Amino acid sequence: MKMIWGITYIVLVAILAHYIGELLPRKWFDYEKFPYTSFGWERDGDIYDKLRIKKWKSKLPDLSRVAKYMVPKKVTVSMNSGDVDLLLRETCVAEFIHVALCIVSAGVIWITEEAYGVVLYLLFALGNIPFILVQRYNRPHLKKLRMKMLVREGQLKDASSDIVM
Given a cut of 70, is residue 164 above it in pLDDT? no
**pLDDT tens digits, 105-160:** 998 998 887 788 899 999 999 999 999 999 999 999 999 999 988 888 877 666 55
The C-alpha atoms of residue 101 and residue 104 are separated, in whole angstroms, by: 5
User: φ and ψ at 105, to 5 degrees?
Assistant: -70, -10
Q: SS3 helix, strand, coil % of the chain, rounded to 5? A: 70, 0, 30
In the chain, the amino acid numbered 67 is A
Task: Give the domain ranges of the chain.
Answer: 2-71+78-154
Query: pLDDT value at position 163?
Result: 45
Query: pLDDT value at position 162?
Result: 46
71 vs 95, residue with greater confidence: 95
Q: Tell me if the pTM is above 0.75.
A: yes
Which residues, including other chains, have CB under 8 Å from residue 118's CB and lie 6 or more apart?
109
| CA-CA-CA-CA dihedral for 42, 135, 26, 102, to nearest 10 | -100
Which residues, including other chains, have CB under 8 Å from residue 10's CB and lie 6 or more apart?
105, 108, 120, 124
Query: pLDDT value at position 160?
Result: 53
**pLDDT tens digits, 27-80:** 999 999 999 998 889 888 888 888 889 888 888 877 776 776 667 677 777 788
CA distances to 81, 88, 146, 152 from 155, rounded to whole Å, are: 9, 18, 11, 8
Which residues, including other chains, have CB under 8 Å from residue 44's CB and lie 6 or more apart?
38, 140
